[in-house]
Structure 1
Amino acid sequence: MGEKITVATVQARKGGPPLTMVTAYDTVMATIADRAGVDLILVGDSVADNVLGFSDTLSATVEIMIHHTAAVARARPRAMIIGDMPWLSYHISLEESVRNAGRLIREGQAEAVKLEGGRKRLPVIEALLAAEIPVMGHLGLTPQSVRVMGGYRVQGRRLEAARALVEDARALAAAGVFAIVLEGVPTIVARAITRLVPVPTIGIGAGPHCDGQVLVFHDLLGWHLDRRKAKFVRQYARLGEAAVSALQSFFADVRSGAFPSEGESYRMEEEEERAFEALLNELEGG
């Protein structure tokens, strides 16, 4: 299994070898990812749309995030566990932000938290770090800002927007975040940020030059049946289709009587079975 991944481990990976991160939501997913050798498990607020059926991430609550983070933690992975801070959990006051992050650490057993946004989040980041809570940043396409952005759009395509992203990244690194997720930004911008900041960058739709990459468990394994795949997702399996096929086979065996077989059923001891059959004959005869 190797040694437990920590903040120090992540920081030491700046410049390589590349970090691997997967977004997962429960004990089974965490066990599978950890067995495969993942470095970081992000319990994302995308649980809202990937698992719970909401249309976006905004419906995730602190309670939901604690529930799913704790489920991941129960796998006791070697990987570091990062709990996503959901929308409105760090927007109202510094006191409430620290309390919510602390709940993710204490009740959810997260080992760090992630929050979205650039320089405007510096007071929150500083407050969390003062409370000894490690923080991962998130820049670019920030899903909690979907209403403001007018949809899930690539960010930083224009010069001034790209400059702002670079300045945000530098500010987050200077404030003390241990890593930064870069989502939905042009390759050249992600490459520049990766060169200019001293902390690891982890890309999702940000090209190949980041210090690591992350994809959602459901996306890379093809769990969704009818969802349009994002350009940056490479699908390594089609488990959703495989699951449908497996269930169809099960239903067919039930309908035909092929399941369960004798080998999949339990028996009484032979003497007890004969006695029970005699009792049954009496009951039926009576």
Structure 2
Amino acid sequence: MMSKLSNLKRLTAPDVFARKNAQPIVMLTVYTARMAQLLDHHCDVLLVGDSLAQVVYGYDSTLPATLEMMIAHGQAVVRGSKKALVVVDLPFGSYEESIEQAFRSASMLIDKTGAGAIKLEGGQAMAPTIEFLTKRGIPVMAHVGLTPQAVNVLGGYSVRGRGNSEFSSILDDAKAVSEAGAFSVVTEAILESLADSITDTIVCPTIGIGASARCDGQVLVVDDMLGMFEKNAKFVRRFDNLAHRIDQAADAYARSVRERIFPASNNCYN
């Protein structure tokens, strides 16, 4: 398998952009080199999400993620993958102040990790930043709808786009970031009809998470997909119950140690 992967060309942002209305884009959010190795030949895009603040470090939101965290985990995922496009989130506070700040943060991420693109949250307000970055050689994946970095303004993690005003505003957000040069747009936790409208309207691919099966691709956090947590959002489908299997394995290990069954003679050096 590794010899075959070594001959593969890593996907790029233009490759993903070209998938509009074509074969669906498979994306997973991942944080470690080993998981990247396991997922690489299944995925088109591996996202190093700022959700690592919650999943890896145990915080209540994505806000505590730092640029240093994103760089460290971005490096790990790039090292662990060969084929997929690696996209790294710009964390909260690293790009909102100005387009110059955004360029410094984004260029540092790209330079230090070797990732192929960055992702940032926000719609019309961030369109000038996206245009500034793309014109300077930094591919940008946009993110509209429920934007976790704005959780304190939004008042929680509720579904977006229910009212006519918010529906139109998010649609305008998607149009703005697409026109600014984003090569793809994540649409999170929005009404299915809104996701369909965005997909039908903008020129770049949409990647849904709690959006619509008609999006040009889908993304989930790998830990959610594998069933590592007891509680999940409605849009999460568990494709395994890994937490239960880990619990069983840990129980078997603990009993083997306490009963002096492990290590056995074949685990020792004689």
Do the structures match in fold with TM over 0.5? yes
Tell me the equivalent position of 1:240.
243
DSSP 3-state at the match of 1:173: helix
- Pick the aligned partner of 1:25 from 31, 53, 56: 31
- Once residues 99 and 182 of structure 2 are traced to their aligned partners in structure 1, the CA distance between those partners, rounded to angstroms, is 17
- Once residues 198 and 96 of structure 1 are traced to their aligned partners in structure 2, the CA distance between those partners, rounded to angstroms, is 28
- Once residues 89 and 111 of structure 1 are traced to their aligned partners in structure 2, the CA distance between those partners, rounded to angstroms, is 18
Give, in angstroms, the shift of residue 131 of structure 1. 2.0
Q: Does 1:123 align with 2:141?
A: no
Contact 2:26 2:45 in 1 (8 A): yes
Q: Normalized against structure 2, the TM-score is what?
A: 0.95
Q: Does 1:146 align with 2:151?
A: yes
Give, in angstroms, the shift of residue 124 of structure 1. 1.2
Q: Does 1:63 align with 2:68?
A: yes
Give, in angstroms, the shift of residue 44 of structure 1. 0.2
- Once residues 34 and 226 of structure 2 are traced to their aligned partners in structure 1, the CA distance between those partners, rounded to angstroms, is 14
Tell me the equivalent position of 2:102.
97
- Once residues 21 and 111 of structure 1 are traced to their aligned partners in structure 2, the CA distance between those partners, rounded to angstroms, is 14
Identical residues among aligned pairs (%): 42
Contact 1:57 1:144 in 2 (8 A): yes
Q: Does 1:265 align with 2:268?
A: yes
Counterpart code for 2:262: F
Larger radius of gyration: 1
Alignment of 1:147-162 (within 5 A): 147-162=152-167
Give, in angstroms, the shift of residue 93 of structure 1. 2.0
Give, in angstroms, the shift of residue 130 of structure 1. 2.5
- Once residues 30 and 119 of structure 1 are traced to their aligned partners in structure 2, the CA distance between those partners, rounded to angstroms, is 33
Give, in angstroms, the shift of residue 255 of structure 1. 1.1
Counterpart code for 1:231: K
Counterpart code for 1:260: P
Give, in angstroms, the shift of residue 167 of structure 1. 1.3
- Pick the aligned partner of 1:80 from 70, 85, 92: 85
Contact 1:40 1:81 in 2 (8 A): yes
Q: Does 1:252 align with 2:255?
A: yes
Gaps of 5+ in 1: 268-286
Q: Normalized against structure 1, the TM-score is what?
A: 0.90
Contact 2:128 2:180 in 1 (8 A): no
How many residues end up aligned between the 2 structures? 264
DSSP 3-state at the match of 1:195: helix
Give, in angstroms, the shift of residue 261 of structure 1. 1.0
Q: Does 1:12 align with 2:7?
A: no
- Once residues 11 and 121 of structure 1 are traced to their aligned partners in structure 2, the CA distance between those partners, rounded to angstroms, is 19
DSSP 3-state at the match of 2:63: helix
- Pick the aligned partner of 1:213 from 207, 213, 218: 218
- Once residues 80 and 68 of structure 2 are traced to their aligned partners in structure 1, the CA distance between those partners, rounded to angstroms, is 19
Give, in angstroms, the shift of residue 3 of structure 1. 3.4
Give, in angstroms, the shift of residue 138 of structure 1. 0.3
DSSP 3-state at the match of 1:90: coil
Cα RMSD between the aligned structures? 1.0
Contact 1:30 1:77 in 2 (8 A): no
- Pick the aligned partner of 1:54 from 55, 59, 69: 59
Gaps of 5+ in 2: none
Tell me the equivalent position of 1:231.
234
Give, in angstroms, the shift of residue 76 of structure 1. 3.0
